[in-house]
Amino acid sequence: MGLPKARNPGRYVIVFVEEMEAWGFVSVVLARHRIEGAAQVPPGG
């Protein structure tokens, strides 16, 4: 999920992204769409 750096994402967006990372959603989607060269940021990163 991309947001402008100057904009505060709010707690909802932060929690949503953390949950998707913890579930492994990002890795699953990257593999499903055969996206190479992209990596998931470690939790809390």
Domain locations along the chain: 7-36
pTM comes to: 0.50
Q: Is the model more confident about 8 or about 31?
A: 31
DSSP for the chain, please give it. ----TTS--HHHHHHHHHHHHHHTHHHHHHHHTT--S--PPPTT-
pLDDT digits (tens, 9 = 90+) for 21-42: 888 888 888 889 998 887 777 7
pLDDT at position 32, please? 92
Residue 13 CA: distances (Å) to CA of 6, 30, 42, 45:
15, 20, 17, 15
The mean pLDDT of the chain is 80
